Amino acid sequence: MLTRIVNMDRRYVFILVALAVIIPMLFSVSLPVSISQPTQNLYDYIENLPAGSTIMLAFDYGPSSLAELNPMARAILIQCFRNDIKVIALTLYADGTTLASTLIKEVAEEAQAVDGEDYVFLGFRPGATQVILGMGTEIAGVFETDLSGKPLSEIPIMKNIVNYDQIDLLVDLASSATPDAWIIYANVQYGLKIGAGVTGVMISQMFPYLQTGQLVGLMSGILGAAEYENLVDVPDKGMQWINVESFVHLLIVLLVVIGNIAYLIQREREES
C-alpha cells in the first residue's frame, strides 16, 4: 500500500486536481474572503482620489496571465468609472494590446464610459525603460496617437495631461518585472505614485516595496483579484475562482502530507 502511494502514477494526481476544480465549479461553492491590508490600501488610495483625477493603468501581461490579472483590471476599471476617475491605459507588452483593448471596451460599455473622455487606450510601444522615462518628460512624445490612431492633442481626456505631474497614480498589472521598472524609473526619477497587481509568482518580490511605501498598495494574484471585487462590490470571476482555488489548495496540502508520511514510514521500514 505504502509503495503504491509513493510510486503512484502522477496522472492520478492530475485527475484528482481536475475533480477538485470541476466539482466546486459545478456546485458554485462560496467561501468567505477577508481583505488583506495591501489590497485595502490600494482600494482606499483610489477611493480617496477626488473626482476628475487621472490614473494610468498599465496592462503589462499577456494571455498566459489573464486568469489572475484580467479580474483585477476589470475591478479597478469599474471603481474608476464609478468614481469619475479618468483612465489612461497602456501596455509595455506587445501581447497585452488586444487583451487590454477588449477588456477596457467591455467594462466601459457596461459603465457607459466614453472613449476619449473617460478613458483612453494608448496601446503599445517597444522598449519598456525608454517608454517609462519618455513619458516623464512628455507622454505625447512617446505615444503620439492612441491605439486607434487619433492624435493625443485631439483627445479631450489628454487636454491637460503632459507628463507624470498630472497623473495621480499608476497601477501596474504585471506578470513580469515591470513593477520594478516603474518603481526604479517613474517613482524614483519622477515621484509618480505606484500601485500594483501581480501574478502569484511575483508576490514575494513585491513585498519589500510595500514595506518601504514605494508601492501604495498591492493586489496579490487571484486572491487579490477576489478581494478587490469584494471591495468594489462587483463579485465576478475572481470571487468564483478563489473558491475553487481553496479546494485545490486543500487537495495539494493533503497530497503533500500523505506523500511525506508514506515516504517517511517506507524509509524507516527499509532502514530497519
Chain residues binding another protein by CB under 8 A are: 11, 14, 17-18, 21-22, 25-26, 48, 64-68, 94-95, 97, 123-127, 129, 133, 144-145, 180, 183-185, 187-189, 199-205, 208, 211-214, 220-223, 237, 240-241, 244-245, 248-249, 252
Closest distance of CB 187 from another protein, Å: 7
What would you report as the CA-atom Rg of the chain, rounded to the nearest whole angstrom?
22
Q: Nearer to another protein by C-beta: 157 or 210?
A: 210
What residue type is 148 in one-letter code? S
Q: Nearer to another protein by C-beta: 18 or 114?
A: 18
Q: Nearer to another protein by C-beta: 119 or 124?
A: 124
Tally the residues of the chain: 272
33 with 241: CB under 8 angstroms?
no
Q: Nearer to another protein by C-beta: 44 or 110?
A: 44
Closest distance of CB 113 from another protein, Å: 23
Residue 78, exposed/middle/buried by CB under 10 A (0-12, 13-18, 19+)? buried
Alpha-carbon distance 154 to 146, whole Å?
A: 10
Q: Nearer to another protein by C-beta: 164 or 241?
A: 241
Alpha-carbon distance 169 to 162, whole Å?
A: 15
C-alpha cell at 141: 512624445
C-alpha cell at 33: 474572503
Closest distance of CB 233 from another protein, Å: 22
Closest distance of CB 70 from another protein, Å: 9
Q: Nearer to another protein by C-beta: 42 or 183?
A: 183
170 with 194: CB under 8 angstroms?
yes
Alpha-carbon distance 139 to 136, whole Å?
A: 7
Query: Rounded to 5 degrees, what are φ and ψ at 192?
Result: -70, 130
Closest distance of CB 17 from another protein, Å: 7
Cβ-count burial 201-228 (b if 16+ within 10 Å, e if not)? ebbeebeebbeeebbbbbbbbbbbbbbb
Closest distance of CB 73 from another protein, Å: 14
Closest distance of CB 269 from another protein, Å: 28
Q: Nearer to another protein by C-beta: 153 or 189?
A: 189
Alpha-carbon distance 124 to 163, whole Å?
A: 17
C-alpha cell at 163: 507628463
